Structure 1
Amino acid sequence: MPELRTTTLVDAPVRTVAGALLDTRLLARSVRGLGLRISGGPVLYEGAALVGSAGRVSGTLAVTRADTTGVSAELVEGPLPRFRLRTDLRHTGGGTLVVDSVEWLSPGGPLGRLADVVVGRGLALKVLRARAAAVSARSAELLRARVVVGAAIVHEGRLLAQQRAYPPDTAGKWELPGGRVEPGETDHAAVIRECAEELAITVTPGDQVGPDVPLRRDLLLRAYTATLTAGTPTPADHQATRWLTTTDLPTLDWLPADRALLPSLLLP
């Protein structure tokens, strides 16, 4: 089965590069100039589906991994017996090493093997090079982006989530408590302030969990663990709050950015 691999060193932390990889638009832009099209939701997450096409030929990729270690996707419907795209991230002293690989299996017989040599390898290498350049550029953008913080508040083995009341296009969906970091404010200070304003509770923020998640070109979501130290969550501007077990997490209709964090929010 043919396989190609490329490596790129990106001058950004692992969580930032992982966030760049979650941007569906990044993948779409990197292949558009090659006559390929990719469409899907705004953010990649485990279980998401991407639809790709080249002319009249189309296929569906299922995302099997999307976290701080990288992204993987496999063809579940399309013209090839097998196609897999994998990106692994490794921390180094000089930045983040991005290891991209693609492997595929063409239809059998001499024509299939000829297609691998003449078309498949060349196209796969172009895709990997374009993707590497796009990841580097998007990571640089995210380093300058404004931050929205999310609080992963765990109490007695359960995670706190809140249900949006507005705007209409997101009403009813679930998210972590949090909000934008104000100018001159630290991420931790924003977590404390937002939890007090939104839920009338006091929390102590801890370490970051999961990757930076792109919301817009100049805005990202960054989540932190938090310990509830005082108060009972009382929503001010949300429909409801709910304490969730690990079994509950995948059953809610999460906002896409918060859904991307779920693999990092699995409870002990």
Structure 2
Amino acid sequence: MPELRASALVDAPVPVVAGALLDTSLITAFGVGVPGPLLCLGDVLTGPFGVRLTVTRADLSGVSAAGDFLELHTDLVATGAGTMVVDRVSWTSVRGVVGRFADVTVGRGMALRVLEKRSASLARRCEELRAARVVVGAAIVRDGRLLAQQRSYPESHAGQWELPGGRVEPGEKPADALVRECVEELGVSVVVGEQVGPDVPLKKDMVLRIFSAELADGEPEALEHNAVRWLTAGELPGLDWLPADRVLVPALQVLLN
């Protein structure tokens, strides 16, 4: 199976680059069909000539998608100067002269041009996300279970689930914003830990950033939502999450396990 590799250094931390890779606008520009604005584990991507790929990885380590005769992998490596983005494209060759010609002209030539353009787009998107406004969320864990809350509004998202949190106000630190939001939404105080998963793009100039958290005082109540619920790792994939929170399910499962 022939393989093409390309690498580029992006001036941004891994969570930002991993988040930018979730933005499907980076691949729709090349004629790839996607089910939504964010890449999610299990999504099916459609491309020219009937190509279908299933997303098999979308986390801090990068993204991968695989089909019957084509595989795409993007790996992220933290360095002192930013994040090294390593792309790998492999495909099944057709035998004979035609196959060798396709490997050189279509496979390597076309794939390399696409990767170069994607790298430039990725760098621009990372620059936007580094300056983006932040919405924080709390991954509150107790006894191996994660706390989620069910939206009551707006109507388009009523009944769906999300992690507690909200916008960081101007001049406010993300951790302080998260403590404030948990008091307002749940009536509890929390101790904020490390970031969980990548920065998830919400808009062109806004990202969702999740932090682990532990209860310090109080019992969570649904003060601004329909309900709250403690979930096991196995229950996370089947819940009707908001799209941005659903992207983080693999990272949340790792946190619980």
TM-score range, shorter chain: over 0.9
Distance in 2, Cα, partners of 1:148 & 1:255 = 14
| Structure 2: gaps spanning 5 or more residues | none
Distance in 1, Cα, partners of 2:187 & 2:105 = 63
TM-score under structure 2 length normalisation: 0.95
Distance in 2, Cα, partners of 1:177 & 1:109 = 58
1:121 to partner: Cα distance: 1.5
Distance in 1, Cα, partners of 2:53 & 2:197 = 23
Partner residue in 2 for 1:78: none
* Identity in percent: 58
One of 42, 51, 58 as aligned partner of 1:47: 42
Is residue 2:211 matched to residue 1:221? no
Matched position secondary structure for 2:156: coil
Q: Given that residues 188 and 217 in structure 2 are in contact (C-alpha distance below 8 angstroms), is that contact kept between their aligned partners in structure 1?
A: yes
1:156 to partner: Cα distance: 1.6
Larger strand share, 1 or 2: 1
Which aligned segments of 4 or more residues in structure 1 are displaced greater than 3 angstroms?
A: 106-110
Partner residue in 1 for 2:63: 71
Matched position secondary structure for 2:38: coil
> Which AA in structure 1 matches 2:53?
L
In angstroms, what is the RMSD of aligned CA positions? 1.3
One of 105, 115, 122 as aligned partner of 2:102: 115
Equivalent positions of 1:1-268 (< 5 A) are 1-29=1-29, 31=30, 36-52=31-47, 54=48, 57-75=49-67, 81-266=68-253, 267-268=256-257
TM-score under structure 1 length normalisation: 0.91
Matched position secondary structure for 1:226: strand
1:59 to partner: Cα distance: 2.6
Q: Given that residues 203 and 229 in structure 1 are in contact (C-alpha distance below 8 angstroms), is that contact kept between their aligned partners in structure 2?
A: yes
Q: Given that residues 165 and 181 in structure 2 are in contact (C-alpha distance below 8 angstroms), is that contact kept between their aligned partners in structure 1?
A: yes
Matched position secondary structure for 1:125: helix
Q: Given that residues 50 and 61 in structure 1 are in contact (C-alpha distance below 8 angstroms), is that contact kept between their aligned partners in structure 2?
A: yes
| Structure 1: gaps spanning 5 or more residues | 76-80
Distance in 1, Cα, partners of 2:15 & 2:241 = 21
Distance in 2, Cα, partners of 1:62 & 1:187 = 34
Distance in 1, Cα, partners of 2:189 & 2:46 = 44
Aligned length: 255
